[in-house]
Amino acid sequence: MISFLDFEKPIAELEARIHDLRQLDGEQQGGADIEEELGRLERKADQLLRETYGKLTPWQKVQVARHPNRPQFNDYIAGLIDGFTPLAGDRAYADDKAITGGIGRFRGRSVMVIGHEKGSDMQSRVRHNFGMARPEGYRKAARLMRLADRFGLPVITLVDTQGAYPGIGAEERGQAEAIARSTETCLDIRVPLIACLVGEGGSGGAVALAAGNAVIMLEHSVYAVISPEGCASILWRSSERSQDAADAMKVTAQDLVKLAVVDQVVEENLGGAHRNPASTIAALGDAIATAIAQFDGKDGGFTRQHRRDKFLAMGQLGIA
């Protein structure tokens, strides 16, 4: 069952009517009249879906990026990686379930895959802490990136988090330092790093896995230094102005590719990745394969310098 967002209520009503008609047709063999009505409603629902998703506001895109049925890390692994072997622990404190990583084969090529896992139901979301990593998660990520560097494996990261976990224990164990070390490792390794923003990209908790040679965003993903709610609470002392904050922050993939923060936007299935995960996952796989291939035959020094130059150039203004 698809969960519908607030702005999708007209679509939900149409699809509910279509569902009821299909059941009636199946039970009573209603004939040409029902088939004709079904066709009319399906065309109307498709048109409404296209119109709605063709003019999403930034705040609506935030809602789509957070959709509970949106593909998660394990879905991408199942769709893109063969023989995935998870690797656990930071070798210092614990294994953080909010970040998962391991070795597998992507289209015949051995790779290291690291990413946030939010979970797909309440039990798994609690187990994965809703994708909000603690310091040990970022230290695990840095350890796995160093391992990939040692064995010459390209790194693919899948980013989907509201941000790093802000709890007291996380701060006591050095959250800021762990995020900084993970970001430093992204910039320091000599193998290609392809970062994919597949849902929310929140603050340093996202950047710690997203400082890549290529940064790819799904069409309805978002990426920002703070959540719109957090921004609204700071600027206007009220989270009720989250929509205004989202408009001002340039959080969408379309805005960020114009600002050269993101390199490529991958189209999602009509209605969002949650409506047809397989097609969106396959499209992302094509983009990842193309990005990795650009560094075939390049030495480690070139790959690392490319990444550093890319991030140092961000935000520079041309002088006339």
Residue 211 domain flag: yes
Residue 320 domain flag: no
- Containing structural domain, residue 16: 6-55
Q: What is the CATH number of the domain that holds 177?
A: 3.90.226.10
- Split at pLDDT 50, 70, 90, the class of 34 is confident
- Split at pLDDT 50, 70, 90, the class of 40 is confident
Residue 75 domain flag: yes
Residue 135 domain flag: yes
Mark whether 140 and 38 lie in a shared domain.
no
H or E, element range at 149: helix 135-151
Strands 155-161 and 264-266, bridge-based pairing: unpaired
Token duo for residue 308: 């550093």
Write the CA distances from 77 to 36, 106, 134, 283, 308, integer angstroms: 41, 9, 22, 14, 28
Number of compact structural domains in the chain: 2
Mark whether 136 and 256 lie in a shared domain.
yes
Residue 208 domain flag: yes
Mark whether 27 and 119 lie in a shared domain.
no
Amino acid occupying residue 127: R
Euclidean distance between the first and the last CA atom of the chain, given in angstroms as a whole number:
55
Mark whether 18 and 154 lie in a shared domain.
no
Mark whether 149 and 262 lie in a shared domain.
yes
Mark whether 198 and 260 lie in a shared domain.
yes
pLDDT per residue over 109-136, tens digit each? 999 999 999 998 899 999 999 999 999 9
Say whether 53 sits in a helix, a strand or coil. helix
pLDDT per residue over 190-227, tens digit each? 999 999 999 999 989 999 999 999 999 999 999 999 99
Nearest to 112 by CA among 120, 122, 123, 104: 104
- Which of 55, 75, 91 marks a domain boundary? 55
pTM above 0.95, yes or no: no
- Beta carbons within 8 Å of 2's beta carbon, 6+ residues apart: 69, 274, 275
Mark whether 208 and 284 lie in a shared domain.
yes
Residue 318 domain flag: no
Mark whether 160 and 74 lie in a shared domain.
yes
Mark whether 42 and 83 lie in a shared domain.
no
- Beta carbons within 8 Å of 159's beta carbon, 6+ residues apart: 115, 116, 195, 196, 197, 198, 199, 201, 206, 209, 210
Distance CA 193, CA 80 (A): 16
Distance CA 144, CA 159 (A): 15
- Which of 38, 55, 72 marks a domain boundary? 55
Mark whether 226 and 251 lie in a shared domain.
yes
Mark whether 178 and 92 lie in a shared domain.
yes
- Which of 15, 33, 55 marks a domain boundary? 55
Mark whether 124 and 101 lie in a shared domain.
yes
Residue 319 domain flag: no
Confidence check: pLDDT of 90 > 60: yes
Q: How far is CA 14 from the centre of its chain?
A: 29
Residue 150 domain flag: yes
